[in-house]
Homo-oligomer: A and B are copies of this chain.
């Protein structure tokens, strides 16, 4: 069994506790300057600690924490099957999740769809491997959950042939913005590009290794997939005439972040992990990385926090459907804000969507349909994919930023609107997650009373 490096240092020659693949209490790290009563839970990624492709209020927490506790969560990309030799082989945690033979899978359900769907259990209606859920003691609907991202560490390959290296994959997929708008033949097509990830952000880079045109793929159950319509398919890139030397000389600055992070929504039993919404989920804002703090409105008892879909790099829009999908481990501190303790002028008062705070800015996230589960009727989870619109997401982001300014700064509507126009930046978060996103960034220095 190859030894993995993780955010927890495993001493050579000793058995790493993380290899037990179940959550455990772990020592607090000195850098955290944690209060004595705080605890630190280490959660390795394994078939016992993840759910695949969905959020659900009915999931039993894999660990229960108290407000103020620390978490290390190993988070895996759901696209490691694009190059299993680099991203699965030799890593017991990853292998435990991806195992799939004609006798079945270790994690059978992938997605919120029916278990007898023709393309596989869960129908791939939702694709992300999510670590969790984490239960938060005392969390109730109306509270706000604060999740601070203290650090992110790339997960090295478990394969001795690639020792010390980390890899990622970008899929130009059928849900991409470009898919029906291609100019080169054959049209349409899905394309995988494999990247090597060097460093940890800041000075780190992703470098392209090779690409291949995907599919069709027959899975161990004998189902042939002509589209990349089910997560965790195991490819042999050599079958697809991989092309080396692509994007020659290009290096992409890392922006490590978690594509999916959020709490379980109350409105449905099983919710696809693809469309983001008021309770977070697949927000895909690359600013949700180290040093960032997310705030989520709690809508079910215990909050049920899940994290996954780590990305090494992504542009605003995530145009082709994915980022540099890559496995990373995150260190977090989680703080529960009880509704009764939130002041009326707090950024958390009446919180109606995933809110990001960074050192320099506040970022609100608008969506085409922020509460699509209630807005779009009984078939909301399929309807949402037909109603995607940047225009609507822009409208939602505007309203959220106006509300944020009026509430937290005590501004009149006229003041808020003038300030938004001259100082707030609206960007296209993503146009590929069914419920499209626009984010609005408000710099804190506007209010520096210098």
Contacts and interface: CB of A to CB of B under 8 A. Distances in A.
A45 to B, nearest CB: 23
A32 interface: no
A246 B249 CA distance: 52
A389 interface: yes
A316 B421 contact: no
Interface stretch (A11-19, A94-102, A264-272, A318-326): A318-326
Contact of A427 (B247, B316, B399): B316
Contact of A323 (B250, B323, B421): B421
A417 B191 contact: yes
Contacts of A193: 414-415, 418
Nearest to A449: B249
A319 B398 contact: yes
A179 to B, nearest CB: 9
Contact of A178 (B415, B417, B431): B417
A181 interface: yes
Contacts of A363: none
Given A172-B417, A250-B446, A389-B391, A178 B422 contact: no
A414 B172 contact: yes
A315 interface: yes
B317 A424 contact: yes
A411 B446 CA distance: 41
Contacts of A428: 390, 394, 426-428, 438
A362 interface: no
A419 interface: yes
A252 interface: yes
A317 to B, nearest CB: 4
A427 B324 CA distance: 20
B191 A422 contact: no
Given A176-B421, A418-B193, A448-B251, A426 B315 contact: yes
A246 B417 CA distance: 12
Nearest to A403: B183
A441 to B, nearest CB: 8
Given A394-B428, A421-B319, A182 B251 contact: no
A170 interface: yes
Interface in A214-255: 246-247, 249-253
A298 interface: no
Contacts of A157: none
A355 B177 CA distance: 22
B422 A181 contact: no
A172 B317 contact: no
A422 B324 contact: yes
A206 interface: yes
Which residue, of A213, A389, A446, has the highest number of chain B Cβ atoms within 10 A? A446
A48 to B, nearest CB: 32
Among A415, A424, A443, the one with the most B-chain Cβ atoms within 10 Å of its Cβ is A415
Given A399-B181, A428-B394, A170 B421 contact: yes
Contacts of A20: none
B252 A419 contact: yes
Given A172-B421, A315-B423, A320-B417, A395 B181 contact: yes
A447 B208 CA distance: 12
Contacts of A299: none
A420 interface: yes
Given A316-B426, A428-B428, 9 more contacts: A184-B414, A208-B418, A246-B414, A247-B415, A249-B447, A319-B421, A319-B424, A323-B422, A427-B428
19 contacts: A172-B417, A177-B395, A178-B402, A183-B402, A183-B413, A191-B418, A193-B418, A246-B414, A246-B415, A247-B418, A249-B449, A251-B446, A319-B398, A320-B417, A321-B421, A322-B421, A390-B394, A394-B428, A428-B428
